[in-house]
Amino acid sequence: MPSLREWVIEWVVMVGVGIALAALGPFGSFELGSFGARLAYWVPAAVIGYAIFRPITLAAVLIAQRLALPELPAALIGTIVAAVPGTLAITYLGDFGPRPPPGFDALFQLYIQVALIGVLVMLLFVLLGNGPAKPASEPLPAASAEPPPGEPAQPSPFLERLPAAWRDRLVALEMEDHYVRAHGPDASTLILQRMRDAEAELAGIDGMRVHRSWWVARWAVEQVLREGRNYRLRLVGGIEAPVARERITALRDAGWLD
């Protein structure tokens, strides 16, 4: 789930989107009259739309991550699905009032408009880098596993960023927007760094990038899970990391999937 800061940013962005739509007056909304009248329509519409679209698209992305599928198409599908309840909400927000409900053609046209705005806003969030994430203070299940005895931690600039209590027991890195979440056996911490930079700093550590959003230490892999063509790695502490299909061959060649 997004952090509180990300939620606040997204709500502010949606209010800004509502103001912009009120100024532009798309889809015939200039018929509402003054800018104030359009503002009274578009700002609530944007906020209500966000409250409907965001959970559905977030759920679609989380499912895609679970199945190691591309996230952007999943978000697009979630947006298209969310446009159905979004259209119904906008119908009742509009001036249909006590009159008979609109016919199928009118609803379908409204659906296309709602879906289009939803896709544009979703792409805006992609550009802003806001995606599904976990709270920064989220604890992980306790674990007793340790790195192989006699194998000292390799010098690494990235490890120096971690709490001293577990910097020699790094389990995995998980990408979260402009941060990486470093997972230890019983805790995690957020570090402001790009995944590829963190991976470069871990060049001396026995681990691999298993997914666009995941780097995993080899010692921490407890079990390889397979569901059809999809793989997941169960790690120390109960964490599960998806394996991207394009990484399967490299992992198999390295002996991770034997």
Return the ∠ at Cα 196 (arms to 204 and 156), rounded to 5°.
30
Sign, CA dihedral 165-168-174-179, equals positive
- 140 part of a folded domain: no
Q: Per the domain annotation, does 151 fall within a domain?
A: no
Based on the structure, what is the number of domains in the chain? 2
Let me know if residue 146 belongs to a domain: no
Predicted pLDDT at 207: 92
Domain-ending residue, one of 113, 128, 143 = 128
Residue 153 lies in a domain: no
Is residue 110, in this structure, part of any structural domain at all? yes
Instruction: Indicate the DSSP class of residue 221.
Output: E
The verdict on 10 and 115 lying in the same domain is yes
Give the end of a domain, one of 107, 128, 149.
128
Residues 28 and 118 in one domain: yes
- Give yes or no: residues 101 and 187 share one domain: no
Domain that holds residue 183: 159-253
Transcribe 94-116 into DSSP letters: TTTTTSPPP-HHHHHHHHHHHHH
Residue labelled with tokens 């020699």: 168
In this structure, the answer to whether residues 123 and 212 fall within a common structural domain is no
Please tell me whether residues 85 and 178 are part of one structural domain. Answer: no
* pLDDT at residue number 151: 45
Tell me the CA distances in angstroms from 97 to 15, 91, 132, 186, 208, one per residue in order. 24, 9, 36, 55, 58
Same domain, 208 and 248: yes
**Domain check: are 91 and 33 in the same one?**
yes
CATH number at residue 215: 2.40.50.1020
Write down the pLDDT at residue 101: 59
Provide the residue-wise pLDDT of the chain in tens; the chain has 258 residues.
455 666 677 778 888 888 888 888 776 677 777 888 888 888 888 888 888 888 888 888 778 766 767 777 888 898 899 889 888 887 777 654 445 556 778 788 888 888 888 888 877 776 665 544 333 333 333 344 455 543 444 567 888 888 888 888 899 999 987 789 999 888 888 888 888 888 988 988 889 999 989 999 999 999 999 888 888 999 988 899 999 888 888 998 888 886
Are residues 247 and 182 located together in one domain of the fold? yes
Q: Are residues 42 and 84 in the same domain?
A: yes
- What order of strands is seen across the sheet that includes strand 188-192? 188-192, 179-183, 172-176, 214-217, 207-211
Question: What's the pLDDT score for residue 174?
Answer: 93
Contact partners, residue 224, CB within 8 Å, separation at least 6: 231, 232, 233, 234, 256, 257
Alpha carbon distance 110, 128 (integer Å): 27
The token duo for 84 is 């159905």
pLDDT (0 to 100) of residue 128: 60
**Same domain membership, residue 73 and residue 23:** yes
Same domain for 122 and 163, yes or no, is: no
Q: How far apart are CA 28 and CA 40, in angstroms?
A: 15
pLDDT of the residue at 6: 65
Would residue 76 count as lying in a domain?
yes
Whether residues 38 and 122 fall in one domain: yes
What the block records as the tokens of 45 is 């519409």
Whether 238 is in a domain gets the answer yes
The CA–CA distances, whole Å, from 10 to 49, 64, 140, 243 equal: 12, 22, 27, 30
User: Residue 258 falls within a domain, yes or no?
Assistant: no
